[in-house]
Every structure is written in C-alpha cells, then in structure tokens.
Amino acid sequence: AQSVTQLGSHVSVSEGALVLLRCNYSSSVPPYLFWYVQYPNQGLQLLLKYTSAATLVKGINGFEAEFKKSETSFHLTKPSAHMSDAAEYFCAVSGAGNQFYFGTGTSLTVIP
C-alpha cells in the first residue's frame, strides 16, 4: 500500500527566502513520486516527478525535489520564493496500477 504525509498544512515564507515543503511516503513497492501545484480555481499542474532515475529532480518554475530512500522523503525546495509561488502543493505517490495517492496538501503563502 502507498500513502504520503505532508508535514505542515500551511507554510509562510518571505519573498526571496528558501521554500521547503515536506513530504514523506510509505510504499510497499519502489515508489514513483510527484509534486503537483494548484493555483486558485484551477486544476492540479505537474511540477516534477521521480521515476527511479536521478534522485535529484528538477521541475518547472525553479522547484526541485530530492528522493531520499533512507528517510522515505521527497521534500520540495526552491532557493528563492516569488510571489507567484503562492499556491497549494500536493505530494503524490504511485506504485503499480496507475492509481496515485495524494497528501492533504500544503498551502504556501509568500510574504512581500
């Protein structure tokens, strides 16, 4: 079975500061891991994905995430927050069979 836990339902950072959104996963099979972003009144957009290639994955808008098997983590980071990064972020895990399991989301606020 697969599941993800996102620590912190709300995160606030100052503009220009480091963004760190935490995701820990549980999987009985080698996981595929994803981060999605949801802007207000929109669907979810894929930010980046880990599919067993490089452990450091780069995505769109300057975001990246590192797969750490020993810590069962896939935290999302961005060196410098921008106002346009304010959104809801979801971590997801998938095993075989195509179904994804999503975390409860982290709402990111960027303070000017």
Which of 34, 63, 67, 74 binds another protein (CB under 8 A)? It is 34
Which of 14, 45, 55, 61 touches another protein by CB under 8 A? 45
Task: Map residue 82 onto helix, strand or coil.
Answer: coil
Query: Could you tell me the smallest distance in angstroms from the CB atom of residue 40 to another protein?
Result: 11
Q: How far is the CB of 112 from another protein (least distance, A)?
A: 25
Site size with another protein, rule: CB under 8 A:
24
CB atoms within 10 A of CB 71: 11
- Interaction between residue 96 and another protein (CB under 8 A): yes
Smallest CA-to-CA distance from 90 within 39, 55, 56, 51 is with: 39
Give the number of residues written for the chain.
Answer: 112
